[in-house]
A = this chain, B = another copy of it.
Amino acid sequence: MITEFDTSLPSIRQVQNLIKEGAAIQIKLLTGDLLTGKMIWQDVQCLCCVDDHNQHVTVWKQAIAYIKPM
Hey, which bits of chain A sit against chain B, CB under 8 A?
1-4, 6, 9-12, 14-15, 28-33, 35, 41, 43-46, 48, 51, 55-69
Contacts and interface: CB of A to CB of B under 8 A. Distances in A.
Taken together, the copies of this chain in the complex come to 6
A68 to B, nearest CB: 4
A65 to B, nearest CB: 4
Give chain A's interface secondary structure class: mixed
A67 B32 CA distance: 16
B66 A57 contact: yes
Given A14-B48, A31-B32, 14 more contacts: A3-B6, A10-B43, A11-B58, A28-B33, A29-B65, A29-B66, A33-B66, A51-B68, A55-B68, A55-B69, A58-B68, A59-B66, A60-B64, A60-B65
